[in-house]
Chains A and B, each alone.
Chain A
């Protein structure tokens, strides 16, 4: 495990509300259809705050850390719930 902090989207859960872009404007842009385009690599340290806000603000709980080890407390339970809800 590295100390990389990558974001990932649960594409089935994501509804393209664009809340993540508003929360993390320096990190996330929206595509032609309103769905997030994530940064290619690791989230830089100075933008971690924005990334966390984007994760917490997503109404569909569709955004998360790719590496589960870097997920903060409480995230995993909500993540699973989000998947089941749509599955």
Chain B
């Protein structure tokens, strides 16, 4: 698993400033470095966000400007609520907690800008309670703020769990202490927390907003090498010298990110991009791939939460994807049948294949069930889980076949587990 050690590299915006040594940047240092939070008129702020093309960095990638405009352009539904979503549920992703632990005031600036722009009277800082460094930094940062701002800001420590960070689950928890997803209608932009229009925005997205308010859309778009502009936080894990969080110009090729992380320490075989809901790809097909939502999407991949997990040839892809499946099955909110039972069956079958105990029908069923659970839940949890599994089936096809038919692990045979 990845450490949360930052990787030093040239394009630093969110992570610019003092070294990332585990200490949060204090408010005076933050304002000395970046200047005070400017007052940007609402119309101008939203226009700037739309001009940047900034997408939400929580995983779904919805355009931030459009999200803000939807709430701004429908007055009369009540005073909006802002939720800064920092409940990073991805086990291998660390970018949100690294950001909050070191640059909490960027996140708070962004949240306050959202509140001012949309006329909100309440900002919920929704954090994962197990991310203690991030929680401590955010609480400390709130204390440093002006009293008038402190009145808006509320730190909520959310339960651990993969789906607890899903946006309808966030609203559900804030309303009723139940961090399970809800059926999407009514739309959160109309009725969310306390039945009021609600903006749920990932903490990295808000930190980006804090810089856009200061430097503008053109500055934001100066960085980036593909269609999606700006920088982004990614977590790189696997056989590289320095695993951890890095800030890249969007569109930076995978090969360059690996170089930034100190180069390879093993022989890479495949990459999981975007998180446990993401997609597996063979290393050779993505080595030059620009890490940026549009390019990845065109190749059938996802940027997701920015996780780049490389596995080397000595890592069994069957075992890896089965463990993820197991995690996601346990992470189901158990509300919808196909997710509750389908993911459990997928986890069991892939676990049997991984453990050399495959039934004759297992491979066939895994393929069938991934299609069967997709699109059949209140949230996209089953879809994401199925996507991880079905791409693993394709990328590690030889490994799955060898496990199922010959009871032999190709990765283990490389390290001499078989004679």
Contact = CB atoms under 8 A, between A and B. Distances in A.
Interface of A: 9-12, 14-16, 31-35, 37, 83, 86-87
Which of B183, B335, B337, B376 has the most chain A CB atoms closer than 10 A to its own CB? B337
A11 B182 CA distance: 10
Contact of A10 (B172, B183, B372): B183
A12 B381 CA distance: 13
A11 B341 contact: no
Contacts of A31: 338, 342, 372
A32 B182 contact: no
B341 A33 contact: yes
B345 A32 contact: yes
Given A35-B337, A35-B338, A87-B182, A11 B372 contact: no
Contact of A33 (B183, B335, B338): B338
Contacts of B369: 32
Interface in B350-373: 369, 372
A35 B335 CA distance: 13
A12 B341 contact: no
B interface bracket (residues with beta carbon within 8 Å of A) = 10 to 19
B337 A83 contact: no
Contacts of B341: 32-33, 35
A87 B338 CA distance: 18
A33 B377 contact: no
A15 to B, nearest CB: 7
A12 B338 contact: no
11 contacts: A11-B183, A11-B376, A12-B182, A12-B183, A12-B335, A14-B336, A32-B369, A32-B372, A33-B342, A34-B337, A35-B341
A15 B337 contact: yes
Interface in B165-194: 172, 182-183
Nearest to B372: A31
B182 A33 contact: no
B378 interface: yes
Contact of A11 (B172, B338, B345): B338
Interface in B311-362: 335-339, 341-342, 345
Contacts of B335: 11-12, 86
Nearest to B172: A87
Contacts of B378: 10-12
Contacts of A33: 337-338, 341-342, 345
A11 B377 CA distance: 5
A9 B338 CA distance: 12
Given A31-B372, A32-B369, A35-B376, A14 B183 contact: no
